[in-house]
Chain A
Amino acid sequence: MEFKDYYKVMGVARDATEAQIKQAYRKLARKYHPDVSKEPDAEARFKEVGEAYEVLKSPEKRAAYDRLGSGPRPGEEFRPPPDFGSGFEFSGAGPSGGGADYSDFFESLFGRAGAGRGGRHHFDTGRGEDHHAKIMLDLEAALHGGSRSFTLRVPELDAEGRLAMHERVLNVQIPKGILPGQTIRLAGQGSRGHEAAGQPASAAGDLYIEVEFQPHPLYRIDGRDLYLDLPVTPWEAALGASIKTPTPGGVVDLKIPAGSHAGTKLRLKGRGMPATPAGDFYVVLQIALPPAADEKAKAAYRTMADAMPFNPRASLGV
């Protein structure tokens, strides 16, 4: 198991004060928070920082962690000492960070219950709690519908009231046309209902699945519209052409109007996301320049230069 240096993750000294740790956490959380960050590995970094903060902000957990020293020597496996955590009482403050999804290292030290429960308040009506999850979906699933399997880690209280995580595999029919940021509601898939004062056992809660999309190799999504960057040759753009273009519905023949230029947008109405109403499909032309690889090609470029006196920098005044 990999030893995690929580001080290094947070970028603080081992003798940092609580205030310094909190400050470091806030700074990193602002930088990597998945809701605001465009950093490519934001989600993973944010989880790591949240886990480090979970340990360092709690005097008990921090003291227990500090007793481990600064980790094993390079190449040595980390194993928690058998007496780890004895003499410390871990109180359950609400998890910070990206929810209760901690590393093996964390769980080997503090157990899964070490994550504690959020300070959420709800009125006990006997109805099971609603659950929330987030999944990364491939664009194809949203375009064509179909089912996908997801593994969720679900915290659940066992019979003795301890918090335990278990993995749950969900096989979900993806609604065709779902858009990033939208939510799939699975009725009755949250916590089971229980008996509340004066009421019979009532309905289970619902599971809300927030959907985000993995980047697609060809298409970019913006709202319900899809964009494709399509490379064309200078002569196709200048003279017009009919060229083969991939679209979500299959390859089509696309007519490029004469006099097109880099950045020209062609709209295929209704061929974007199959939402209601359907989005549009935009082809954005990119001019690809053929390389002047041999004498013949060079001659062709020289002929063009002679035939077309053209100053692309005229608007720059030079």
Chain B
Amino acid sequence: MSLPDESLLIGEIFEEGPAVSVNELTRMFAVEERRIVEWVEEGVISVLEADATEWRFSGAQLRRARIALRLERDLGLNAAGVALVLELLEELEQFRRERRSGRS
């Protein structure tokens, strides 16, 4: 048992920070590089500049990677399945938004 840490921790909003590299992603999620490559190939996450020599990812991709990791683990989906789910979730969200604003 460790003592509660009462000191105030100051964090930063990750999504607003600089773009991250493949290396940083593998470390964050404890996955191998080929998993990241697969995610990019299947459209789960996208790189900032496709023809850059080194892949960089915007912070917004973090959420997609996190959902991918959970869906692969919990629902037994593969990367292609996750990409489809993410697309459908986005459409659903768009649909809900339009319905809420009443299209008036």
Please report which residues of chain A, range 103-146, place their CB below 8 angstroms from some CB of chain B when the two chains form the complex: 118, 120-122, 127, 129-130, 132
With A171-B5, A209-B11, A263-B104 known to touch, is A35 a contact of B70 (CB < 8 Å)? yes
Q: Which residue of A lies closest to B73 (CB)?
A: A96
A96 CA to B75 CA, complexed, in Å: 9
Question: Contact residues of A with B, CB < 8 Å?
Answer: 26, 29-30, 33, 35-36, 46, 50, 94, 96-97, 118, 120-122, 127, 129-130, 132, 147, 166-173, 175, 177-178, 181-187, 189, 205-206, 208-210, 220, 222, 227, 261, 263-265, 276, 284
B19 CB–A CB distance under 8 Å = no
Q: Which residue of B lies closest to A209 (CB)?
A: B11
Give 8 closest A-B pairs by Cβ, nearest first.
A169-B4, A263-B104, A184-B11, A183-B14, A263-B102, A120-B30, A185-B14, A122-B30
Do residues A166 and B8 form an inter-chain contact, with CB atoms below 8 A?
Answer: no
- Find chain B residues with CB under 8 A from A184 CB: 11-14
Looking at the assembled complex, report how far the CB atom of B90 sits from the nearest CB atom of chain A, in whole angstroms: 12
- Find chain A residues with CB under 8 A from B32 CB: 121
Q: Which residue of B lies closest to A181 (CB)?
A: B63
With A35-B71, A167-B4, A173-B10 already in contact, 9 other A-B pairs whose C-beta atoms are closer than 8 Å:
A129-B30, A130-B29, A169-B4, A171-B8, A175-B13, A182-B63, A205-B27, A263-B102, A263-B104
Q: Which residue of A lies closest to B93 (CB)?
A: A222
- Find chain B residues with CB under 8 A from A209 CB: 11
Q: Which residue of A lies closest to B15 (CB)?
A: A182
B47 CB–A CB distance under 8 Å = no
Looking at the assembled complex, report how far the CB atom of B29 sits from the nearest CB atom of chain A, in whole angstroms: 8
- Bitwise, B12-56 to A at CB < 8 A (1) or not (0) is 111111000000001111111000000000000000000000000
A265 CA to B27 CA, complexed, in Å: 45
With A169-B4, A263-B102 known to touch, is A26 a contact of B11 (CB < 8 Å)? no
Do residues A276 and B16 form an inter-chain contact, with CB atoms below 8 A?
Answer: yes
A183 CA to B13 CA, complexed, in Å: 6
A132 CA to B63 CA, complexed, in Å: 12
A50 CA to B5 CA, complexed, in Å: 30
Do residues B74 and A97 form an inter-chain contact, with CB atoms below 8 A?
Answer: yes
A222 CA to B102 CA, complexed, in Å: 14
Please report which residues of chain B, range 80-104, place their CB below 8 angstroms from some CB of chain A when the two chains form the complex: 85, 89, 97, 100-102, 104
Q: Which residue of A lies closest to B63 (CB)?
A: A181
